[in-house]
Amino acid sequence: MNRDAADEALRLARTRLEEGHDAEALRCAEKSVRLSSSEAATTFVQQVQQVLRIMACAEADSYLVLDVSAEATAALIKSAYKKVARLVHPDKNGSRQAVDAFKRLNLAHEVLMDPAKRKEYDRKRAAQMAASRPPQPQKPPKPQKPPHQTAGQPPPYSQPPPPQPQWPPHKTAAQPPNSHGRRRRRHHGLHHSRHAHAVRS
């Protein structure tokens, strides 16, 4: 029962692929694998997945097209190319997008396998990535800690203390003599005149 349903799902997947409905074809093929994991259905799923993956990549990103890292060696790039090429080759893949996917794969392989081309490609790729990266916000400067304050010292960064008043106040030339002194001098003069009058008497 499951085998018949799996075969029917795979047949429908191939029909949808020929009509250009790759995503729908993939769903039907995945259903066939769930019902009965046949080798034909599994290969079909991988073929459609690779075409959709390559066409979804940025055309200029050779590393993504080959599905390798930017640090991949030449041997790893060659191995990845052979693996993907077997799945997306137009003679074996019924997708209408297989031709374009295979062209992108070949171009990426050509660039990354040539040391001079790869070096120039890496330089341009790094510049593009740096230009597209949003600028980092600048951190505010850290507040400076006040210097250590010892006993008896005024607090740091404070205003100078006001001048202390002198005591007794210093008398300037412009200040008049105080009234208390004048009363004492008048009293002393009166006493002296009375004493002189008493002597004459």
pLDDT tens digit sequence for 47-97: 999 999 999 998 789 999 999 999 999 999 999 999 999 999 999 999 999
pLDDT higher at 188 or 27:
27
pLDDT band at 25, cuts 50/70/90?
very high
pLDDT digits (tens, 9 = 90+) for 153-188: 655 555 666 666 666 655 555 555 555 545 555 555
Q: Cα angle vertex 48, ends 60, 44, to 5°? A: 150
Higher pLDDT, 197 or 1: 1
* Per-domain residue ranges of the chain: 2-130
Chain center to CA of 14: 45
3-class secondary structure, 151: coil
What are the Cα distances from residue 61, in Å, to 69, 77, 79, 103, 112?
Answer: 11, 14, 18, 13, 11
The DSSP output letter for 123 is H
Query: Which numeric CATH code is attached to 2-130?
Result: 1.10.287.110
pLDDT at 158: 54
- pLDDT value at position 182? 52
Cα(98)–Cα(86) distance, rounded to whole angstroms?
Answer: 11
pLDDT, residue 37, reads 82
Residues 6+ apart with CB under 8 A from 78: 109, 113
Q: Model confidence over 97-151: pLDDT tens digits?
A: 999 999 999 999 999 999 999 999 999 999 988 887 777 777 777 777 666 656 6
Q: What is the pTM of this model?
A: 0.64
Q: Is the peptide bond before 177 cis (omega within 30 degrees of 0)?
A: no
Rounded distance between C-alpha atoms, residue 21 and residue 188, angstroms: 130
pLDDT for 156:
58
pLDDT value, residue 142 = 74
Q: How many CB atoms lie within 10 A of CB 198?
A: 8
